[in-house]
Amino acid sequence: MRIPPLHRIHRDTLDQHGLRNVRLAQADIRRLDDFNDASFDVVTCTLSLHHMPDTQALGQALREAARVLRPGGGVFLADFGRLRRRTTQHYFAHDRAAEQTPQFTQDYLNSLRAAFSQDELQAAAAPLPAGLTWHRTALAPFLLM
Protein backbone atom coordinates (compact mmCIF):
# COMPACT_ATOMS: atom_id res chain seq x y z
CA MET A 1 0.00 0.00 0.00
CA ARG A 2 1.31 3.44 -0.97
CA ILE A 3 1.45 5.82 2.01
CA PRO A 4 0.33 9.37 1.15
CA PRO A 5 3.15 11.92 1.66
CA LEU A 6 1.28 13.71 4.46
CA HIS A 7 0.87 10.43 6.34
CA ARG A 8 4.61 9.87 6.01
CA ILE A 9 5.26 13.25 7.68
CA HIS A 10 2.79 12.41 10.47
CA ARG A 11 4.24 8.93 10.92
CA ASP A 12 7.78 10.38 11.11
CA THR A 13 6.62 12.82 13.80
CA LEU A 14 4.95 10.04 15.79
CA ASP A 15 8.08 7.88 15.48
CA GLN A 16 10.29 10.76 16.69
CA HIS A 17 8.19 10.92 19.85
CA GLY A 18 8.04 7.16 20.32
CA LEU A 19 4.27 6.97 19.83
CA ARG A 20 3.50 3.51 18.48
CA ASN A 21 -0.17 3.18 19.40
CA VAL A 22 -1.49 5.61 16.78
CA ARG A 23 -3.06 4.48 13.52
CA LEU A 24 -3.26 7.04 10.74
CA ALA A 25 -6.23 6.81 8.40
CA GLN A 26 -7.98 9.04 5.92
CA ALA A 27 -11.76 8.89 5.64
CA ASP A 28 -14.90 10.94 5.10
CA ILE A 29 -16.11 11.80 8.61
CA ARG A 30 -19.70 11.35 7.44
CA ARG A 31 -19.05 7.69 6.55
CA LEU A 32 -16.61 5.92 8.85
CA ASP A 33 -17.67 2.47 7.59
CA ASP A 34 -14.15 1.05 7.96
CA PHE A 35 -14.24 1.62 11.72
CA ASN A 36 -16.11 -0.43 14.29
CA ASP A 37 -18.51 1.02 16.83
CA ALA A 38 -16.75 2.23 19.99
CA SER A 39 -13.27 1.82 18.47
CA PHE A 40 -11.79 5.29 19.13
CA ASP A 41 -10.44 6.62 22.43
CA VAL A 42 -10.57 10.19 21.16
CA VAL A 43 -12.31 12.02 18.34
CA THR A 44 -10.63 15.24 17.24
CA CYS A 45 -11.91 17.52 14.52
CA THR A 46 -10.18 20.83 13.97
CA LEU A 47 -11.29 23.44 11.44
CA SER A 48 -13.07 20.94 9.21
CA LEU A 49 -16.74 21.02 10.12
CA HIS A 50 -17.42 24.28 8.28
CA HIS A 51 -16.67 22.36 5.07
CA MET A 52 -19.84 20.31 5.55
CA PRO A 53 -22.38 21.46 2.94
CA ASP A 54 -25.33 21.78 5.33
CA THR A 55 -26.60 20.97 8.82
CA GLN A 56 -27.72 17.50 7.68
CA ALA A 57 -24.15 16.59 6.69
CA LEU A 58 -22.86 18.18 9.91
CA GLY A 59 -25.23 16.02 11.95
CA GLN A 60 -24.23 12.91 10.01
CA ALA A 61 -20.56 13.64 10.70
CA LEU A 62 -21.07 14.04 14.44
CA ARG A 63 -23.33 10.96 14.66
CA GLU A 64 -20.50 8.96 13.08
CA ALA A 65 -18.03 10.49 15.54
CA ALA A 66 -20.31 9.45 18.41
CA ARG A 67 -20.69 5.94 16.95
CA VAL A 68 -16.95 5.25 16.81
CA LEU A 69 -16.16 6.83 20.20
CA ARG A 70 -15.63 4.42 23.09
CA PRO A 71 -17.66 4.98 26.27
CA GLY A 72 -15.71 7.44 28.38
CA GLY A 73 -13.76 8.58 25.29
CA GLY A 74 -12.77 12.16 24.68
CA VAL A 75 -13.98 14.66 22.12
CA PHE A 76 -12.27 17.84 20.93
CA LEU A 77 -13.97 19.96 18.30
CA ALA A 78 -12.65 23.33 17.18
CA ASP A 79 -14.08 25.25 14.27
CA PHE A 80 -15.21 28.60 13.06
CA GLY A 81 -18.44 29.78 14.62
CA ARG A 82 -20.61 31.94 12.42
CA LEU A 83 -20.09 35.64 12.99
CA ARG A 84 -23.37 37.51 12.67
CA ARG A 85 -22.23 40.41 10.53
CA ARG A 86 -20.59 40.20 7.12
CA THR A 87 -18.56 43.28 8.02
CA THR A 88 -17.08 41.39 10.99
CA GLN A 89 -16.30 38.39 8.77
CA HIS A 90 -14.62 40.74 6.32
CA TYR A 91 -12.63 42.41 9.12
CA PHE A 92 -11.16 39.17 10.46
CA ALA A 93 -10.41 37.78 6.99
CA HIS A 94 -8.63 40.96 5.89
CA ASP A 95 -7.03 41.99 9.21
CA ARG A 96 -3.65 40.53 8.17
CA ALA A 97 -4.15 40.69 4.39
CA ALA A 98 -0.73 42.31 3.93
CA GLU A 99 0.88 39.22 5.49
CA GLN A 100 -1.00 36.57 3.50
CA THR A 101 -1.73 35.79 -0.11
CA PRO A 102 -4.97 37.04 -1.69
CA GLN A 103 -6.00 33.39 -2.15
CA PHE A 104 -5.56 32.72 1.59
CA THR A 105 -7.56 35.85 2.47
CA GLN A 106 -10.41 34.80 0.16
CA ASP A 107 -10.39 31.23 1.49
CA TYR A 108 -10.42 32.54 5.05
CA LEU A 109 -13.40 34.78 4.25
CA ASN A 110 -15.21 31.87 2.57
CA SER A 111 -14.59 29.72 5.66
CA LEU A 112 -15.96 32.38 7.99
CA ARG A 113 -19.04 32.71 5.79
CA ALA A 114 -19.55 28.93 5.64
CA ALA A 115 -19.35 28.49 9.41
CA PHE A 116 -22.27 27.07 11.35
CA SER A 117 -23.82 28.95 14.25
CA GLN A 118 -23.14 27.83 17.80
CA ASP A 119 -26.75 26.60 18.03
CA GLU A 120 -26.36 24.52 14.86
CA LEU A 121 -23.09 23.00 16.10
CA GLN A 122 -24.54 22.22 19.52
CA ALA A 123 -27.66 20.61 18.02
CA ALA A 124 -25.52 18.45 15.70
CA ALA A 125 -23.30 17.46 18.66
CA ALA A 126 -26.27 16.08 20.65
CA PRO A 127 -25.26 12.42 19.97
CA LEU A 128 -21.81 13.03 21.51
CA PRO A 129 -21.24 12.26 25.21
CA ALA A 130 -23.08 14.39 27.72
CA GLY A 131 -21.16 17.06 29.54
CA LEU A 132 -19.48 18.78 26.59
CA THR A 133 -18.50 22.33 27.37
CA TRP A 134 -18.37 24.98 24.66
CA HIS A 135 -15.88 27.85 24.65
CA ARG A 136 -15.55 31.08 22.75
CA THR A 137 -12.99 33.75 23.55
CA ALA A 138 -12.78 37.46 22.91
CA LEU A 139 -9.32 36.91 21.46
CA ALA A 140 -10.74 34.78 18.64
CA PRO A 141 -14.53 35.30 18.63
CA PHE A 142 -14.84 33.37 15.39
CA LEU A 143 -13.53 30.15 16.97
CA LEU A 144 -15.77 27.75 18.84
CA MET A 145 -14.35 24.85 20.85
pLDDT at 1: 46
pTM reported for the whole predicted model: 0.81
Is residue 126 within 8 A of residue 117, CB to CB? The reply is: no
| 10-residue mean pLDDT series, the chain (145 residues) | 67 90 84 94 90 94 94 89 90 93 92 90 90 75 78
Structure confidence at residue 27 (pLDDT): 84
Q: Is 93 exposed, middle or buried (0-12, 13-18, 19+ CB in 10 A)?
A: buried
Residues near 108 by Cβ (< 8 Å), separated by ≥ 6?
92, 93, 100
Question: Would you state the pLDDT for residue 83?
Answer: 87
CA nearest neighbour of 125 among 40, 43, 38: 43
